[in-house]
Each structure stands twice: as structure tokens, then as C-alpha cells.
């Protein structure tokens, strides 16, 4: 197990280096605008632009620029400075990361708590009216655009503009360290909106796997031994069905940690997704690079965690 994890970590480092190279090529080699001109402003003189280009090292060969970027990233975790604000990119990401972690982890907890019982109930009564009702609702939740659901939820439930103001604090994020109660209130609605589509997809996938698992030999053997149905379903059926579902859920979590752009924008949550959106609007290339690398790191780490969890959940799997 330890050797496998170390090997995957080394491959993860290689993957992150490739991602950094691709992002560097996209933003510095391909024609995407002059970074010095973007930082100097639209009406800056050529002398000012040339001075900024020298200060940023943009007049050096491209391989020298990439090596400097990679060395600063590896040795000092330095992602450069924002063209728009002049602040260090690492500081900008560190300031926004707690909000994204709060949003992503809360949504994961909700979608597991919502999706798991729905899948179990539907799998125990396949093709019944309850199964059709639950899976039909899940299909509607998957099909509904997240930004539309978010705007509709604000219109219905927000305490300032909602027709039924049941959830105070929506649309005005408050950090956890500032006020835990207001932090919770500001994230309940974003959690529900973000978890809705993921919980629906999770429930449909888990239902399909659970129906298949309940028909396997070891489950029939457990029933033949007279074990309680609850234990058969939870310990033998759900555990077998969870292995592939954990893989999908882990990948979704990695993407969420990269930033739920639409939800953060709709609910004014100052997270990584919102930071990336603002960077794209202002053509802030170092910030875009930093957020892309963070998303890649989240996917690499969660994929390794998912593989280890897969082996723990399914005794037939061995990591060599």
C-alpha cells in the first residue's frame, strides 16, 4: 500500500509539472495578449510597457521564463503576482481557499446524506411507483442548470428578496472565524443548490450498483443464513456497491475544490471559483495559472485517496 501511494504521488508531481507547462504555453506562448500591456493599462506609453516587461522578465527567452516560474513554484511555492491587483497569487488563493473548502465539503456531506437513503429506498423497490418517483426527481435535478436553480432559490428563499424568506444570510458570505452562526446561515442555500445535482447523480449511480450487488451470490448467502435484512443491505450490499460510486464522488470533490464557479458567483461566495472568474474577466494570467494548478492538485490528491478507499471498501481489490 505504501509503495503504491508513493508511486502515485510521484506520478502526481509529474502530472502537475505537465499541467504547469500547458498553462504556461497557453498564456505566454499563444497569442492571448501582452501581459505587460495588461498590467500597464490601456493608455500606457511604450516606455512604461517596456519597463514593466523588463521588470516581469518577459523580455527573456521563453524557456528561461518557464524555468524561473517552475523554480519559484517548487522552491518557494511562488506563483507570481496578479497583473490586476499586484498582490501575490498565493496570498489571493490562500484568502479564498477557506470559502471554497466550506462550500465543497458541506456540499459533499449533504449530497451523501441525501443521495444514499434515496438510492437504498429505490433499489429495494425497483420499478415501483416510489422508485420511479425518486429517479424521476433525480433526473430533473440533474437536468436543471445550477445557476438557474441558484437564482430561483434566491428568489424564493433569500431573506432580502425571497418570496418566502426562510433562509437568512443567503447571498452574503460570512467567514467561519468571524461568526460561525452567520457562516452557517450564509452557506445553507449554496450547499443545497450545489449538492442537488450531485446528490441526484450519486443516487442514480448507487441505485444501479446496489440493485446489481443485491443479486450477487454473497448477498444471497447472507440472506440464506438468516441475517437481518438491514444488515444484509447495509453491510453486504451497500459496501459492495459503494466502491465504484466512491470513485465518481471523489472526482467530483476534486473538481469542486478547484472552484464551483457558478454557485460562488450566484451566491457571492468569495472562493476560488469566483477568483478564477474575476481573473478571466480581467485577463489576469498568473491568477488563472494558480487556480488551474490548484484544481489539478485537488484532482490528483482526491484520485489517490479514492484508490485507497476503493481498496478498503472492496476486499477483492489489492493495491500493488
What residue spans in the chain does CATH classification 1.10.3720.10 cover?
93-313
Cβ atoms 253, 100 nearer than 8 A = no
Question: Does residue 315 register a pLDDT over 60?
Answer: no
DSSP letter at 320 equals -
Of residues 93, 13, 64, 95, the one with CA closest to residue 286: 93
State pLDDT tens for residues 269-293: 888 888 888 887 777 778 888 888 8
What would the mean pLDDT of 148-176 be, rounded to a whole number? Answer: 73
What would the mean pLDDT of 157-169 be, rounded to a whole number? Answer: 65
| Average pLDDT, rounded, for the chain | 79
Q: How confident is the model at residue 1 (pLDDT cuts 50, 70, 90)?
A: low
CA distances from 21 to 14, 27, 104, 228 (A): 11, 10, 27, 56
What would the mean pLDDT of 135-157 be, rounded to a whole number? Answer: 85
Nearest-angstrom CA–CA distance, 152 and 304: 37
Nearest-angstrom CA–CA distance, 254 and 260: 11
Tell me how crowded residue 58 is: count the other CB atoms within 10 A of its CB: 17
Cβ atoms 134, 118 nearer than 8 A = yes
Partners of 14 in beta bridges? none
Give the whole-number percent of the chain exceeding pLDDT 70: 85
State pLDDT tens for residues 26-79: 776 655 566 677 667 677 788 887 887 787 777 777 788 778 778 877 777 888
Nearest-angstrom CA–CA distance, 1 and 293: 27
Tell me how crowded residue 10 is: count the other CB atoms within 10 A of its CB: 10
CATH for 93-313, options being 3.40.50.2300, 3.30.70.20, 1.10.3720.10, 3.40.640.10: 1.10.3720.10
Q: What is the model's pLDDT at position 167? A: 67
Question: Does residue 219 register a pLDDT over 70?
Answer: yes
Amino acid at each position: 500500500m505504501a509503495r503504491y501511494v508513493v508511486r502515485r504521488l510521484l506520478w502526481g508531481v509529474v502530472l502537475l509539472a505537465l499541467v504547469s507547462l500547458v498553462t504556461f504555453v497557453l498564456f505566454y506562448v499563444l497569442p492571448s495578449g501582452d501581459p505587460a500591456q495588461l498590467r500597464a493599462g490601456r493608455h500606457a506609453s511604450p516606455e512604461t510597457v517596456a519597463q514593466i516587461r523588463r521588470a516581469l522578465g518577459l523580455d527573456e527567452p521563453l524557456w528561461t521564463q518557464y524555468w524561473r516560474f517552475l523554480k519559484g513554484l517548487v522552491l518557494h511555492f511562488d506563483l507570481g503576482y496578479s497583473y490586476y491587483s499586484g498582490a501575490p497569487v498565493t496570498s489571493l488563493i490562500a484568502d479564498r481557499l477557506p470559502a471554497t473548502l466550506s462550500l465543497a465539503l458541506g456540499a459533499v456531506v449533504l449530497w451523501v446524506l441525501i443521495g444514499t437513503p434515496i438510492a437504498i429506498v429505490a433499489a429495494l423497490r425497483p420499478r415501483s411507483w416510489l422508485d420511479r418517483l425518486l429517479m424521476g426527481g433525480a433526473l430533473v435535478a440533474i437536468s436543471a442548470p445550477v445557476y438557474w436553480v441558484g437564482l430561483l432559490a434566491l428568489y424564493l428563499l433569500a431573506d432580502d428578496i425571497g418570496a418566502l424568506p426562510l433562509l437568512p444570510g443567503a447571498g452574503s458570505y460570512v467567514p467561519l472565524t468571524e461568526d460561525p452562526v452567520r457562516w452557517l446561515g450564509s452557506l445553507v442555500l449554496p450547499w443545497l443548490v450545489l449538492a442537488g445535482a450531485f446528490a441526484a447523480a450519486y443516487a442514480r449511480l448507487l441505485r444501479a450498483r446496489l440493485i446489481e450487488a443485491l443479486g450477487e451470490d454473497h448477498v444471497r448467502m447472507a440472506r440464506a443464513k438468516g441475517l437481518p435484512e438491514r444488515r444484509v443491505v447495509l453491510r453486504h450490499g451497500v459496501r459492495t456497491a459503494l466502491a465504484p460510486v466512491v470513485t465518481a464522488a471523489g472526482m467530483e470533490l476534486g473538481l469542486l475544490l478547484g472552484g464551483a464557479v457558478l454557485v460562488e458567483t450566484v451566491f457571492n461566495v468569495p472562493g476560488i471559483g469566483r477568483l478564477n472568474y474575476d481573473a478571466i474577466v480581467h485577463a489576469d494570467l498568473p491568477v488563472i495559472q494558480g487556480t488551474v494548478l490548484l484544481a489539478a492538485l485537488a484532482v490528483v490528491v482526491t484520485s489517490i485517496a479514492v484508490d485507497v478507499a476503493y481498496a478498503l471498501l472492496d476486499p477483492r481489490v489489492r493495491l500493488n
